[in-house]
Each structure stands twice: as C-alpha cells, then as structure tokens.
C-alpha cells in the first residue's frame, strides 16, 4: 500500500503537461522571464517577472512542428529541465499491487496491462510497448505533438488510421508544440493545440486558467466517439465535469467502453480525470497546475524561468512555500501523505468489495435463475459502482487534488455495491 501511495504521489507530480503561468484569457503566460529589478525581492512570484520575446527558429520536424531541439538555443534552461523528466524510468504494475483490478476490468485491455506512467519523456515508447490493443491511431492522441499537428492538418479521419502507420510518422514525445503550438517564441503564449478541447468547451474555455487547460488537454476523462473514433471530452463546461454529470452524459446515448461477458454489464472505464477533479475543488480558485508543479527558478545571471522538470510540491521547497500562503506553518508533507494514505486504504477496501460484487453478479448470470428484467437494475448498479470507484482510483493525485471528491466517489461506489448485493440476496 505504501508503494502505491508513494508511486501515485510521484505520478501526480509528473503528469502535468508542459504548462506555464497565465497572463489572462485562453492565451497567456510566459515561458521565460527576467527580473524587473535586482533588489531584495524575497521569493520569486509572478509579480517579479516580465515577458521576453524571441524569434521562433525554423522547424526541423518533417511535419513543421518546432521541437524542443529547435528551441534549445533560444531557451536552453527550459529545454534542459524538460530533459530531466527522463529520470523517471521505473514502471510498477498496478495489477500486481491491486490484484482485484484484473477481475473488475475483465474483458478489457486494462486487465492485461496497467502500469504506472513514466512521464512525458517516454510517452511514445510506452504506448508502443503496452500489451493493451491499439488498432487505431487515436491511441496516440496525447502521446506526441506530431499527432495533434496531423489532426489539425488533416482532420478527424486521422483517428481511424492504422496505429503502426501513424506511429512511424511520429517524431517527438510530449513537447513544446503540445502547450504552445509553434508560438513559444512569442513570450511563451499557451495555445490549446488539441482540437477536441475547442469542440467540447467552445467559449467555456475562457472560464479555465490556460495553464490548467493546457494540462487538461490530456489529463482528463475522455472517450472515442462511436461515429469516427475521435477523442472527445464528455462535457461542455466546468459545471458538467462532475462524475455524476459525466455518467449522465454517457447514459444519454448508452455509451459503453465494453460489455463484460461474465456479467453482461455495459461498462465504463474512466481515464485520468485530473483536471476535472482539480477544478471541482477549492484549490482551483487560487492556483493552476504550474503553480504546484513547475517552480520558478533563476540562473546565476539573473534569468528567471519556469522549470519544465515536473515535480511534486512536496519534494520542492520553492513550490511548497506556496502552500504557506493559506496553510501557514502546517506540515504539508505529513498532511498530504496522510490524506493519500487514507484514500489508498479506502480504494483497496472498496475495490475488493467491487470485485466481490462482480463475482456475485457473474454467478447469478451463470446460474440463470434471475430474469433479465431482474438483472438489469443490478447491472446498472454495477456500472455505476465501478464508474465512481474508477473515477477516484485512476485520478493520480490519490486525494491530494480534491480529497472531498475522492471520498465522495468511494462513498457512492460503496453504497451502490451494497444495494446491488442486497438485490442479489447477498
């Protein structure tokens, strides 16, 4: 349990995409700064920095994206810190740590292979190596800026192209284009490069801090549309990002990721709803993703920039100091680790109950003593219980982003499991 807790803490630190402090609107923020004055400034904050501008280099990628190597002469510190993300080389199997997952994901790819992510430097390598099937190119949606560029150039038909064919065209892991397009030289403006974000949110994009939305292009719950397998968000506003509203969205057109053979339940598989969980919590009004995961640093020459080595605030004194604004002298490391420990323990408890519920339902189906009319409300409870459990389990902060929502999801899952077991006579 301690291993999983610590692992998810680290994953929660490295999952944030290449995002930066915003200046306002959908486009904002700057990639590199220098001090307005050289006096005794105290801790570096947004108020101590100002934009600089640089001419964009000529792209060397085949598809016209300006990659990190192209930018390295302009922003050497940033490209250097991006490379530090390669230090996260370990992969741990959640299926080994939480064996009940194999049972509850029966019939789906995550029952075959479900390992911890290593971060942005390994996205292409890891998606190629996974044992989960990926027959179409839509599996590359958030793995490389080259795929976003391809969709932007050719349209949604790209999603149904052959995975191996498109994989051979990809050149770079998650990188500069993902969060900045080719405009990183223009004071590092944030550009939302994934087209489905604009389609799903429209004008509501303006209600989300750009530094959070740039991360939320990928660190979200999503699905593939039945008609063209396009990656899509299951909501149109922040208010609709709750697990209840997303479930209602899927129910409205009877969407399912797969039908589980042993139970007959049309199942949903939550992805990694970090942005949704964060935006439903109290921290979203005060902070963005960069504030907690990308420390402002200064070179010996006085150049100030956002580090792109994505770290946990619990492991970085500069970031941890931000917490003191509200929490004062609270021992934040102990407090957050205690939260994560409690959530992990509850996940294990509820996950095993969910596995037992699934087994009981499968046995009832196999015995054939209950009618389909009697089984359907139990399957509905099964679908919903797993959805709420999964919404918590796969959100990688393990309660740190929004412990109230994490506990709520586990409470709802437990209640639905109990009701389902009652209907099964257990």
**pLDDT score at 231:** 97
What are the angstrom distances between the C-alpha of 204 and each of 90, 122, 166, 236, 369? 38, 32, 32, 7, 50
Does residue 201 contact residue 233 with C-beta atoms inside 8 Å? Answer: yes
Per-residue model confidence (pLDDT) at position 296: 86
pLDDT in tens, 134-183: 889 999 999 999 999 999 999 999 999 999 999 999 999 999 999 999 98
Residue-by-residue pLDDT tens, the chain, 426 positions: 444 444 444 444 443 333 333 333 333 333 333 333 333 445 666 655 556 678 889 999 999 999 999 999 988 998 999 988 888 776 789 999 999 999 999 999 999 999 888 888 899 999 998 989 888 999 999 999 999 999 999 999 999 999 999 999 999 999 999 999 998 777 768 899 999 999 999 999 999 999 999 999 999 999 999 999 999 999 999 999 999 999 999 999 999 999 999 999 999 999 999 999 999 999 999 999 988 998 888 888 877 888 899 988 898 888 888 888 889 889 999 999 999 999 999 999 999 999 999 999 999 999 999 999 999 999 999 999 999 999 999 999 999 999 999 999 999 999 999 999 999 999
Q: Return the SS3 of 225.
A: coil
Burial of 87 from C-beta contacts in 10 A (0-12 / 13-18 / 19+): exposed
| Confidence at residue 114, expressed as pLDDT on a 0 to 100 scale | 93
Question: Which two three-digit tokens encode residue 347?
Answer: 């996940």
HSE of 175 in the Cβ direction (CA atoms, 13 Å)? 26
The predicted-structure confidence for 330-359, as pLDDT tens digits, reads as follows 999 999 999 999 999 999 999 999 999 999
């Amino acid at each position: 349990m301690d291993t999983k807790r610590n692992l998810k803490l680290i994953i929660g630190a490295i999952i944030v995409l290449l995002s930066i402090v915003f200046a306002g609107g959908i486009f904002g923020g700057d990639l590199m700064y220098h001090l307005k004055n050289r006096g005794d400034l105290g801790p570096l904050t947004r108020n101590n920095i100002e934009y600089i501008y640089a001419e964009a280099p000529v792209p060397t990628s085949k598809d016209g994206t300006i990659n990190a190597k192209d930018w390295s002469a302009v922003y050497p510190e940033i490209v250097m810190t991006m490379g530090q993300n390669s230090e996260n080389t370990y992969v741990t199997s959640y299926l080994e740590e939480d064996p009940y997952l194999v049972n509850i994901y029966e019939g789906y790819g995550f029952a075959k292979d479900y390992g911890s992510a290593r971060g942005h430097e390994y996205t292409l390598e890891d998606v190629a190596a996974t044992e989960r099937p990926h027959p179409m190119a839509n599996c590359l949606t958030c793995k490389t800026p080259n795929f976003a560029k391809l969709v932007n150039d050719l349209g949604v038909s790209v999603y149904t192209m052959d995975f191996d064919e498109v994989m051979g065209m990809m050149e770079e892991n998650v990188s500069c284009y993902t969060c900045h397009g080719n405009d990183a030289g223009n004071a590092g403006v944030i550009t939302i490069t994934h087209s489905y974000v604009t389609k799903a949110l429209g004008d509501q994009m303006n209600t989300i801090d750009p530094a959070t939305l740039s991360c939320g292009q990928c660190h979200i719950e999503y699905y593939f549309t039945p008609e063209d397998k396009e990656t899509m968000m299951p909501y149109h506003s922040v208010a609709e990002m709750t697990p209840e509203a997303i479930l209602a969205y899927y129910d409205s057109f009877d969407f399912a990721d797969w039908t589980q053979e042993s139970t007959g339940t049309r199942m949903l598989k939550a992805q990694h709803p970090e942005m949704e969980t964060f935006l439903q919590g109290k921290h979203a009004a005060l902070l963005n993703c960069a504030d907690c995961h990308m420390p402002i640093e200064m070179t010996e020459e006085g150049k100030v920039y956002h580090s792109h080595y994505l770290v946990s605030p619990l492991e970085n004194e500069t970031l941890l100091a931000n917490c003191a604004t509200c929490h004062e002298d609270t021992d934040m490391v102990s407090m957050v680790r205690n939260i994560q420990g409690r959530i992990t323990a509850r996940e294990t408890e509820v996950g095993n109950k969910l596995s037992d519920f699934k087994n009981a339902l499968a046995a009832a189906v196999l015995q054939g003593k209950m009618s389909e009319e009697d089984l359907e409300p139990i399957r509905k409870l099964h679908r919903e219980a797993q959805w709420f459990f999964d919404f918590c389990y796969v959100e990688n902060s393990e309660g740190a982003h929004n412990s109230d929502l994490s506990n709520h999801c586990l409470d709802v899952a437990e209640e639905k499991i109990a009701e389902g077991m009652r209907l099964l006579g257990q």
